[in-house]
Amino acid sequence: MWNGNGNSVMKTAMRYFSTSSRKRAPNLRKINPRVPFPEAAYIAEGLYDVIKANGPLTIGNAWNHVKEAGISGLNSKTHMKIMLKWMRGRSMLKQICNQVGSNKKFLVTTYLDASQTDQVIDSPEPEVKPKTQKPAKSDRKRAR
């Protein structure tokens, strides 16, 4: 049957499939929007309209547009982020990552904005300015 090596194989398999090494993705449907459902649906409709009208937006830009739109029910930027995550869990929005060099920019968009998101992702990369080097310590004058 099993020799002494079978136990170590079993331990390795258990460690490989254990929950600490591989965690499930969070269930976005269980996010609490911190307001009753009818109010959450009203806020979500306003957020959806703002994002659809202005194309793919970063969180900061979305907050600026939401303040201009005057959506009632949003208490803060943090509450808006929770609502956006709740909307993503309900498949109303999607989040895309636009990577420029080593920097990442996350954009929130509607599913219907596929043509706009392709334009944003395929946009040319901005030029990165090289850092200026400071003079060596020996070149600096000492103040006494």
pLDDT tens digits, 37-81: 999 999 999 999 999 999 899 999 999 999 999 999 998 999 999
Classify residue 18 by its DSSP letter: S
Residues 85, 72 contacting (CB under 8 angstroms): no
CB proximity list for 105: less than 8 A, separation 6 or greater: 58, 97, 98, 99
CB proximity list for 81: less than 8 A, separation 6 or greater: 59
Q: Greatest CA span in the chain, whole angstroms?
A: 83
CA distances from 72 to 46, 78, 101 (A): 9, 15, 38
Q: What topology is assigned to 26-123 in CATH?
A: Arc Repressor Mutant, subunit A (1.10.10)
Note the pLDDT of residue 11: 75
pLDDT for 107-121, tens place per residue? 999 987 555 555 555
